Amino acid sequence: MATISHFKALQARLRSPIEVRFLLRRAIGGLFSLWGAVTIVFLMLYATGNPAEVLAPETATAEQVAELARQYGFDQPIYLQYRNFLVNIMQGNFPNSLYTGRPAFQEVLYRVPNTLLLGLTAVVLGALLGLVVGYVSSSGRSRIMRVVPIRLLMILQSVPNFFMGLLLIYFFSLTLRWLPTSGFSSWRNLILPITTLACYVAPNVARLFRSTMNEIRFEEHIQTARAKGISERAVRIRHNAINALGPVTTLIGLQLGGVLAGAVVVETLFAYPGVGQLLVQAVVSRDYPVALAAVILVCLGYNIASLLVDVLVVIIDPRAQKR
C-alpha cells in the first residue's frame, strides 16, 4: 500500500490536474447564477407590492414605513432600488430583525458555524457510509455482503427525514433515554441530527457508487491494469473504485440542495440553533429581514459549496473540465 502514496506523490509532483480556464469558467458561471438568484429574490420581494411594508414591523406607523423605505431606498425608481438592493446585500446591510432588533445579517451569520458543523459532518459521514456500502455491494465476497447492506440502506431512502428524526428521538431519547432530544448544549446533541441527515446522503451515494463501479469494471483499461500483473485488490481500488468517485462526487454536489432542505427540517425538529431553524422561525413569525438575509446567505453558501464540489470532481477525474 506504500506504493499508492508513492504514485500520488509522483502524480502531484508532475502536474496539477486543474486548469485555470476551467476554474475561471466555473467561477464566472457561479457568480452569474448567484446574481440570478439574488435578482429573483428581489423581483419576488417587489412583486408583493411595497417591499418596505413587508420589511417593516407589523406595528409600524406609516411614517416609520416611509422612514424605512427612505433608508433602504424603496421610494426610488425600480432600477435604483435594484442597485441599492445589490449594494446592500454586498455590504451585508439588512434591516434589523423585527423581534430581537439586532441586525438581521449578524443574526444569521452568528448561526452559520452551527449549520456548517452539522451539514459538513453529515455529508462526510453519509458519503463515507454510502461508499463503504456501495463498495461492499459491488465487490463483496459473499452474496449476502453484496445484497443485504445496500437493501437495508435503500429502505432508509424512502423515510422522510423529519419522520426519521422523529423515530430516532422516540427510540434513543424517549425510550432508551440515551441522548437528548433537542437544543445544543453538548456534542451529544449532534448525534441524532447528524445521523438523520447522513441517512439522506448515504443511500444514493451507495447506489451510484455500486452501479458506477460495476460499469467501470467492464471498461478496457481495467483489463490493461490486470495485464500489468498488479494485485486484484490494487485493480479494484486504484482503477475501479477511485475512478468511480467522480460521478459520486457530482451526485453529492447535486444533492447539496436536498442536504440543505434536510438541514432546515432537522434543525427545526431538534431545535438546533442553525441557520435553517432561524429561517423557519423567521418565516413562521414573518420576520422578513431575517428571512431575507438567511435566504441570501444560504444561496451564497450553496453556490460556494457546489463550486468546491465541482473542483473536487475535476481533481478526481481531470476529464470533467473538458466540455
Segment 193-232, which members bind other proteins (CB under 8 A)?
A: 204, 207-208, 211, 219-221, 223-232
Q: Is 19 in the site for other proteins (CB under 8 A)?
A: no
CA within 13 Å, CB half, 60: 17
Q: Which of 72, 94, 90 is nearest to 81 (CA)?
A: 72
Query: Which contiguous run of DSSP H or E holds residue 250?
Result: helix 245-269
Residue 192 binds other proteins (CB under 8 A): no
Q: How far is CA 173 from the centre of its chain?
A: 27
Contact between 144 and other proteins by CB under 8 A: the answer reads no
Subset of residues 91 to 110 that bind other proteins, contact rule: CB under 8 A? none
Judged by CB under 8 A, the residue of 19, 27, 40, 188 near other proteins is: 40
183 near other proteins (CB under 8 A):
no
Distance of CA 198 to the CA centre of its chain: 12
113 binds other proteins (CB under 8 A): no
Which residues does residue 103 pair with via DSSP β-bridges, in sequence order?
96
Residues 292-311 binding other proteins (CB under 8 A) are 294-295, 298-299, 302-303, 306
Of 207, 306, 200, give the one whose Cα is nearest residue 263. 200
Question: Which of the stretches 57-65, 112-120, 139-147, 247-255 binds other proteins when contact is defined by CB under 8 A?
Answer: 247-255
Crossing angle between the packed helical segments 245-269 and 161-168, to the nearest 10 degrees: 60
- The residue whose grid cell reads 414605513 is 65
Cβ nearer to other proteins, comparing 146 with 238: 238
Q: Give how far the C-alpha of residue 300 lies from the chain's centroid of Cα atoms, to the nearest Å.
A: 11
How many residues of this chain interact with other proteins, rule: CB under 8 A?
A: 94
Single residue of 18, 23, 54, 179 touching other proteins by CB under 8 A: 54
If binding is defined by CB under 8 A, does position 36 make contact with other proteins?
Answer: yes
- Whether 35 and 305 have beta carbons less than 8 Å apart is answered as no
CB 47 to other proteins: min, Å: 8
Binding piece for other proteins, criterion CB under 8 A, among 43-51, 75-83, 98-106, 139-147: 43-51
C-beta closer to other proteins: residue 90 or 322: 322
Q: Does 159 bind other proteins (CB under 8 A)?
A: yes
CB of 25 to other proteins, least distance (A): 6
Q: Which residues of 246-283 are buried (b: 16+ CB within 10 A; e: fewer)?
A: bbbbbbbbebbeebbebbbbbbbbbebbbbbbbbbbbe
Give the three cell numbers for residue 48: 408583493
Minimal distance, residue 247 CB to other proteins, in Å: 6
Check binding of 20 to other proteins (CB under 8 A).
Answer: no
β-strand partners of 96: 103
